[in-house]
Structure 1
Amino acid sequence: MSLEDLLTRLEQLLVEMQELDEPVRTRVFELMDGFDLIHRTALSALGEALDRQTLERLRAADPATAWMFDAYRVGVDEQAEADAALESIRPYIQSHGGKVDVLDVRGGVVRLRLSGACSGCTASAVTLQDGIDEALRENLPGFVATEVEEDNAEPHPPPAPGPVILELPQYRG
């Protein structure tokens, strides 16, 4: 049986599982979740232990291995992915004099540092909720939450729009 045929059959079985009585279905899915956790844990450890070149060689050698690596995101640089996911919100943060840096990503939790005008800003919680979290939710597979580290700035209100001073050449008539 080819990998594609096996995957198709597994999807069919999964649909059939939905038809089982609730107590049986619950136990079947608990069993599947247990196998999933074992696979995820083992493959994550493997991904951390092996260098990128070895992972790519294993991926290229076998379609089933490649599928498992993709499904469990083995060898993915989650920090780089989170950083890229924030590109859409960075111009907004920078326009307010702020900066966001990805410090770490573990288990879907993205640890960030806000600095510049965003640090200590009373609007930064809103910025996070509305902008950063949304960008990560939309662009980072497996995103769960953010943890924010600020750079010890004193709390202050967001910058208010101020008057714009334009220098005009003097008129001499």
Structure 2
Amino acid sequence: MIPFSDEELYEPVLESLNVVLPMLQRDGGGMELLGIKNGVVYVRLTGHCHGCAASSQTLKFGVEKQIRNDIHPELIVVNIPIGQEFDLEKV
């Protein structure tokens, strides 16, 4: 059980994502924070990260690992691909 509300997680998650963002940018990629709901962090990988064969590895072993180390070990990160509709209220 994650002891934080989604609202309380927003700023710490954003700070944690900013730690890994330079790594993505060095390879021509990027990432947007779309929202957080029930301990699941929804992001969109952009640039060269979008559609990259290694993007799932980047997501789990880069982005998710950083967030879990920084904030809480039960947080999950999900990528919403470019072009896929996303509505946090419908998740």
TM range (shorter): 0.7 to 0.9
Alpha-carbon distance in structure 2 between the residues aligned to 1:127 and 1:143: 18
Instruction: Specify which of 125, 136, 147 is matched with residue 56 of structure 2.
Output: 125
> If each structure's strand is expressed as a fraction of its own residues, which one has the higher value?
2
Residue equivalent to 1:137: 68
Q: Indicate if the aligned counterparts of 1:103 and 1:111 stay in contact, CA closer than 8 A.
A: yes
The gaps in structure 2 that reach 5 residues or longer are 84-91
Give 1:143 shift.
4.1
Equivalences, count: 82
Task: State the TM-score, normalized to the length of structure 1.
Answer: 0.42
SS in 2 for 1:120: coil
Please tell me whether residue 115 in structure 1 is matched to residue 46 in structure 2: yes
Give 1:76 shift.
4.8
Change in Cα spacing, 1:139 to 1:119, as seen in structure 2 (3 Å) is same
Moved over 3 A (4+): 72-77
Please tell me whether residue 81 in structure 1 is matched to residue 18 in structure 2: no
The gaps in structure 1 that reach 5 residues or longer are 1-36, 38-71, 153-173
CA radius of gyration, larger in: 1
Identity %: 26
> If each structure's helix is expressed as a fraction of its own residues, which one has the higher value?
1
Matched to 1:93, the amino acid is L
Cα offsets for 1:3-45 (capped at 9, x unmatched): xxxxxxxxxxxxxxxxxxxxxxxxxxxxxxxxxx9xxxxxxxx
Give 1:142 shift.
6.2
